[in-house]
Chain A
Amino acid sequence: MGKDGLVPTPYALPEPTALGARRPVRRMVRPVQGRRLGGVCAGLAEHLNLNVRHVRLAFIVASLGGGAGIVAYLFLWALTPQGLEVTQVADADAMAVSRPAHESVRNLLVGLGLLVVGGVLWAQQHGLNLHLGVSFPVLAVASGAVLAWSKLDDNERERWLVRDIGSGGRRVALIRLVIGITLASGGVVVLATQGLGLAGLWSVGIAAVAVLAGAALIAAPWGVRLWGELRAEQAQRIRETERADIAAHLHDSVLQTLALIQRKSGDPAEVVRLARSQERELRGWLYAGPVGSQASLASAVTEVVHEVEDLHGVPIELVVTGDRALDIGGSVLVRALREALLNAVRHGAPPVSVYVEMGSELVEAFVRDHGPGFDLADVPQDRLGVRESILGRMSRHGGSARVRRLEHGTEISISVPVSAVSPPVAQPDWGIQAEVAGQTGTTSQPDS
């Protein structure tokens, strides 16, 4: 192909320049390497250009003073995505950039959480002594929430949406979610039933469930909408990929052939051959090929017809009814058919048509051309060979062949009895088929 043959792909996906051009936002990630606990301190230090030790020390100090450090650590741990390997930080950034508006919701949550923590700390400093009985359930709630939310970031959610993920990872995530929710709601209930008996526990538990149900009811439409949007987005992406695939295929096949045809416009035979083979290729791609397996008689016939078409650039109209497995009898018929076709293409005139009927007792093939026909008494020299390889071959294998002169053209008919061929393709028992094929092999001479 020269340079002029290179046609730009029309529907190729545009490069994501609009996204890539955006100023990359540095996002805090928890590094995998160099972490002690959850990688929060390391990540924070990296993000703020601080010494890791100082950050760790600050957290420990803050934790000693009322546990604020622990709470802050847990929040950061839950809401910071885990970083990739150091070499892939750039990729992580790119991923972070393409995140949707979901980010603002998260920021809101972080803000609220910090507000709550601040409020609690402020209350404690002003004489409200928080005992272990209170802070323990709070911790349970917090860790439950962390457990439930920690892995539910964008990547995870995407994987949840994609159905064909290995069910193992999904199950683990689900277990985490369930445990987290149980822990959090258990903590809430214990917190609310401070000093109450078992009866109080029950009533508060029921109230908590009622509140949760109410909240779920309120949040449901929003959740459903979000879910729907995500599905739509994903479907759109799949469509675009398919479109790009189709564009690529058309570019590689049809457009290249068209370019070739333009160059060879002076050679009609070549143009016909190119157009015909391209048509076939496109049909095969669109309709996933001819019916039947590779080893079926119909596909063998189709193959031979296409081969002759390509050799001589003469279009051949092919009609096939029924199908059966290909074996010796069938391949003899196919070889004879090939000779007949070559004969029709060389000596006859188009249109050339082939009809192959695979009946219950007989497989018949008819090759018809519209040439001037020939007188049987005045057979040209080269037709003797054709006759040998068609008539002779068929009679050797228990079939028959006949050449007829019609008013417009010639028709060669070939037939093989079904007993010499094989049972229909639809028959599921391959053992029996192999047996029949073997029998055919012993009764008929190998063709050479």
Chain B
Amino acid sequence: MNEPLSPDDTVIRLVLVDDHRMFRSGVKAELDESMVIVGEAADVDEAIVVVAQTRPDVVLLDVHLPGGNGNGGSDVITGSNGVTTESGEPVRFLALSVSDAAEDVIAVIRAGARGYVTKTIDGRDLTDAIRRVAGGDAVFSPRLAGFVLDAFGAAAGEVAVIDEELDRLSAREREVMRLIARGYQYKEVAKELFISIKTVETHVSSVLRKLQLSSRHELTAWAVGRHLL
């Protein structure tokens, strides 16, 4: 991105949770100086303690972690429920995974993660994603967008009549998801649809909310039967 994404260029306090030390040091090397890593953890129980102590802005969370109740990243999110940063904002979680098993990803999103990216993401995109999550927005990778389109039946043409409907995407949300699935950045989505970036972010957040709250039964069935390739 050419221009700063966050209006205030504050330093973001970050906690890395991943059971692979090599991956943690790799992430550290890739992030720029606008991010400071205040803590690291290798399993669920350690992560909950570190998050409660350091109260970071964003937690980079591996989907698969040892410890806890055996649910990996989801357990960290549940265990850190109610923890806030010093400015009173809730601690936000960005899920990171190599697994791409849809049921794992959907579980961590439904537990409360604000986004999901794959571990193959490059440093710039990761910084971008962390900034977005810190600002309270949602981050969707192309795969997650494709998953949402499929699971909500939007790819087959199912569209909500009213925006508040939880089990379907609105026409606009569907357009946004389609563009993200095609590999468009938020800025490009905004340009394509002649809307502001802020509006794109609103749509994505709304889709995330639907993903977390919808009781659409296909959602779970779909996730169990499939893997985001």
Interface size on A, residues (CB 8 A): 26
> Are B182 and A355 interface neighbours, CB within 8 A?
yes
> Are A361 and B157 interface neighbours, CB within 8 A?
yes
CB contacts under 8 Å to A, within B182-229, are 182-185, 188, 191, 225-229
A319 to chain B, nearest CB (A): 4
> Are B157 and A360 interface neighbours, CB within 8 A?
yes
> Are B183 and A359 interface neighbours, CB within 8 A?
no
Residues in B with CB closer than 8 Å to A353 are 142, 182-183
Measured CA separation A359–B120 after assembly (Å): 29
Q: A351 and B157 in contact (CB under 8 A), knowing A319-B143, A408-B188? A: no
Measured CA separation A142–B183 after assembly (Å): 81
B128 to chain A, nearest CB (A): 13
A401 to chain B, nearest CB (A): 15
Q: A302 and B229 in contact (CB under 8 A), knowing A353-B142, A355-B182? A: yes
Report which of A315, A320, A360, A406 forms a contact with B229, defined as CB distance below 8 A.
A320
> Are B155 and A358 interface neighbours, CB within 8 A?
yes
> Are B227 and A287 interface neighbours, CB within 8 A?
yes
CB contacts under 8 Å to B, within A322-366, are 322, 351, 353, 355, 357-361, 366
A280 to chain B, nearest CB (A): 9
B130 at interface, CB cutoff 8 A: no
B77 at interface, CB cutoff 8 A: no
Report which of B120, B142, B185, B228 forms a contact with A315, defined as CB distance below 8 A.
B120
Q: A359 and B156 in contact (CB under 8 A), knowing A319-B142, A368-B182? A: yes
B149 at interface, CB cutoff 8 A: yes
Report which of B182, B227, B228, B229 forms a contact with A366, defined as CB distance below 8 A.
B182
> Are A368 and B146 interface neighbours, CB within 8 A?
no
Interface size on B, residues (CB 8 A): 26
> Are A407 and B188 interface neighbours, CB within 8 A?
yes
Measured CA separation A418–B228 after assembly (Å): 24
B165 at interface, CB cutoff 8 A: no
B164 at interface, CB cutoff 8 A: no
> Are B191 and A407 interface neighbours, CB within 8 A?
yes
B196 to chain A, nearest CB (A): 16
Q: A357 and B178 in contact (CB under 8 A), knowing A291-B226, A317-B142, A321-B146? A: yes
Report which of A287, A406, A407 forms a contact with B101, defined as CB distance below 8 A.
A287
Report which of A287, A290, A322, A411 forms a contact with B155, defined as CB distance below 8 A.
A322
Chain A 385-414 interface 0/1 with B at a Cβ cutoff of 8 Å (1 = within): 000000000000000000000111001000
Q: A411 and B182 in contact (CB under 8 A), knowing A287-B227, A360-B157? A: yes
Measured CA separation A108–B191 after assembly (Å): 88
A232 at interface, CB cutoff 8 A: no
Residues in B with CB closer than 8 Å to A358 are 155
Residues in A with CB closer than 8 Å to B100 are 283
**Can you list 10 A-B pairs with a CB-CB distance of less than 8 A?**
A291-B226, A291-B227, A319-B145, A319-B229, A320-B229, A322-B150, A353-B183, A355-B182, A357-B155, A407-B188
Show the binding face of A for B, using Cβ within 8 Å: 283, 287, 290-291, 302, 315, 317-322, 351, 353, 355, 357-361, 366, 368, 406-408, 411
Show the binding face of B for A, using Cβ within 8 Å: 100-101, 120, 122, 142-143, 145-146, 149-150, 155-157, 178, 181-185, 188, 191, 225-229
| Top-9 shortest CB links A-B | A353-B183, A319-B146, A321-B155, A321-B150, A368-B183, A355-B182, A366-B182, A355-B181, A287-B227
Seed contacts A283-B227, A360-B156; 7 additional CB < 8 Å A-B pairs? A291-B225, A317-B142, A322-B150, A351-B183, A353-B182, A355-B178, A408-B185
